[in-house]
Amino acid sequence: MTDRIREATTDMDWEQATVLLRRIYVGGGHTTDEQAGRFMTRANLEPAGVLLVAMDETDTVVGAVLLLHPESPLRQVAAANEREFRVLGVDDRTRGNGIGERLVQACLDRAFAAGAQAMVLWTQPRMFGAHRLYERMGFQRAPERDVEDPRGFTRLVYVRGR
Ligand SMILES: CC(C)(COP(=O)(O)OP(=O)(O)OC[C@H]1O[C@@H](n2cnc3c(N)ncnc32)[C@H](O)[C@@H]1OP(=O)(O)O)[C@@H](O)C(=O)NCCC(=O)NCCS
């Protein structure tokens, strides 16, 4: 099973990760093919943060998350002393093995080592597995920070301190 998490660096890493993320988000009904095709590209994600990838034993990407840079253009809910991550996804064939948790933990470790006071993120109301994961890892809902998404749902905000 996988337990190797590292930064995406090669063309192959990026190709596999963006294809996987599009498959997870479109296949799960979380976004449209058109939106995913625009958003989940190396050109969009690479300048915005560090893409962490989980590799399996055949060196294939089975999960990914984008830890946004402090002043990232893709930052949507983080305040000045906070960090935010986006597009967490794990291949549905390898879920339930702690890969999602290790990707989130890698984001927390990096952000807190760099001096962030809190990690913040938003999630869709139907991402039930993600909500359980965040709550298990000590994140708390911050409903006062929720935002309406133009697609017709509420972006649920979660926060975790150091
Ligand atoms: C949310 C998501 C990333 C979780 O990935 P994952 O790798 O399955 O996460 P984990 O394995 O750490 O945790 C998932 C479950 O596996 C269980 N688990 C964790 N480690 C385990 C292990 N070693 N063995 C067996 N089960 C384990 C957890 O208890 C958890 O159970 P629960 O869902 O009943 O709470 C994945 O479901 C996903 O990609 N969802 C679609 C995209 C999405 O919603 N992204 C969030 C964006 S905000």
pLDDT tens digits for range 34-48: 999 999 999 999 999
Establish if 59 belongs to a structural domain.
yes
Establish if 149 belongs to a structural domain.
no
Establish if 125 belongs to a structural domain.
no
Rounded to two decimals, what is the model's pTM? Answer: 0.96
Mutate to test the pocket of ligand 1, among 20, 68, 88 (most ligand atoms within 8 A of CB): 88
Establish if 85 belongs to a structural domain.
yes
- Number of folded domains that form the chain: 1
pLDDT tens digits for range 103-129: 999 999 999 999 999 999 999 999 999
- CATH number, domain of 33, equals 3.40.630.30
Establish if 142 belongs to a structural domain.
no
Q: Enumerate residues lining ligand 1, CB below 6 A.
A: 24, 28, 88-90, 95-101, 123, 127, 129-130, 132-133
Establish if 134 belongs to a structural domain.
no
In the reported structure, the alpha carbon of residue 139 is separated from the centroid of ligand 1 by a whole-number distance in angstroms of: 15
Contact status, residue 68 vs residue 104, Cβ threshold 8 Å = no
Domain containing residue 27: 4-116
pLDDT at 3 over 90: no
In the reported structure, the alpha carbon of residue 30 is separated from the centroid of ligand 1 by a whole-number distance in angstroms of: 16
Mutate to test the pocket of ligand 1, among 95, 119, 131 (most ligand atoms within 8 A of CB): 95
State which amino acid sits at residue 19.
V
Establish if 36 belongs to a structural domain.
yes
In the reported structure, the alpha carbon of residue 80 is separated from the centroid of ligand 1 by a whole-number distance in angstroms of: 29
Tally the residues of the chain: 162
Per-residue confidence (pLDDT) for residue 94, from 0 to 100: 97
3-state secondary structure 36-74: HHHHCCHHHHHHHEEEEEEECCCCCEEEEEEEECCCCCC
Establish if 34 belongs to a structural domain.
yes
Contact status, residue 88 vs residue 53, Cβ threshold 8 Å = no
CA-proximal residue: ligand 1, atom 10 (nearest): 98
